[in-house]
Structure 1
Amino acid sequence: MPETRAAQRHKPSQARARETRERILDSAAQLFSAHGMAEVSTNRIAAHAHMSIGALYRYFDDKAAIAEVLRARLLAELEECFTAAVIGSLGLPVRESVATSLRIIMGALVDRRHLVRALAADATVEGIGFGGLERRLLLLTRAYLLQQLGPLPDDELDIKAFVMVNAGLAASLRIALQPPAGLDVDGVISETATMLGEWLGARS
Structure 2
Amino acid sequence: MPGKRLQPRKEPQQVRGELTRQRILTAAARVFAEMGYAAGTTNRIAERARVSIGSLYQYYPNKDAILVALAARHLDTRAESPRRHRETAGPPETLDGALRELVHVAIQNHLDDPQLLRVMAEQAPRAPELLEQVARYEEERIAEVRGLLERYPETSVSNVDMAARIVVNAVELLVHKLIAGPEPLDLPAFEDELVTLLTRYATAGSERSSGLRR
Aligned counterpart, 2:4: none
Q: Shift of residue 131 of structure 1?
A: 5.5
Amino acid across the alignment from 2:139: R
- Contact preservation (8 Å) 2:64, 2:125: no
Amino acid across the alignment from 1:145: L
Aligned counterpart, 1:137: 141
Under a length normalisation based on structure 1, what TM-score does the superposition of the two structures give?
Answer: 0.75
Amino acid across the alignment from 2:63: K
Amino acid across the alignment from 1:196: L
Unaligned runs of 5+ in 1: 1-12
Cα distance change on mapping 1:124 and 1:95 into 2, 3 Å: farther
- Contact preservation (8 Å) 2:67, 2:124: no
Aligned counterpart, 2:108: 107
Aligned counterpart, 1:188: 190
Amino acid across the alignment from 1:197: T
Q: Shift of residue 73 of structure 1?
A: 1.0
- Contact preservation (8 Å) 2:145, 2:168: yes
Q: Shift of residue 160 of structure 1?
A: 0.8
Comparing 31-40 with 184-193, greater Cα deviation is found at: 184-193
Q: Is residue 179 of structure 2 the alignment partner of residue 176 of structure 1?
A: yes
Cα distance change on mapping 1:64 and 1:131 into 2, 3 Å: farther
Aligned counterpart, 2:201: 199
Tell me how far apart the structure 2 counterparts of residues 92 and 46 of structure 1 sit (CA, whole Å): 49
Tell me how far apart the structure 1 counterparts of residues 15 and 80 of structure 2 sit (CA, whole Å): 27
Amino acid across the alignment from 2:101: T
Residues 8-19 of structure 1: pairs in structure 2 closer than 5 A: 14-19=14-19
Comparing 80-89 with 190-199, greater Cα deviation is found at: 80-89
- Contact preservation (8 Å) 2:25, 2:70: yes
Percent identity of equivalent pairs: 28
Aligned counterpart, 1:69: 69
Aligned counterpart, 2:20: 20
Q: Is residue 147 of structure 2 the alignment partner of residue 146 of structure 1?
A: no
Tell me how far apart the structure 2 counterparts of residues 120 and 167 of structure 1 sit (CA, whole Å): 16
Cα distance change on mapping 1:190 and 1:91 into 2, 3 Å: same
> What is the Cα-based RMSD across aligned positions, in Å?
3.3
Cα distance change on mapping 1:14 and 1:91 into 2, 3 Å: closer
Cα distance change on mapping 1:86 and 1:102 into 2, 3 Å: farther
Deviations 1:20-42 (A, max 9, x none): 22221121112112122221111
Unaligned runs of 5+ in 2: 1-12, 207-214
Tell me how far apart the structure 2 counterparts of residues 42 and 56 of structure 1 sit (CA, whole Å): 8
Aligned residues: 189
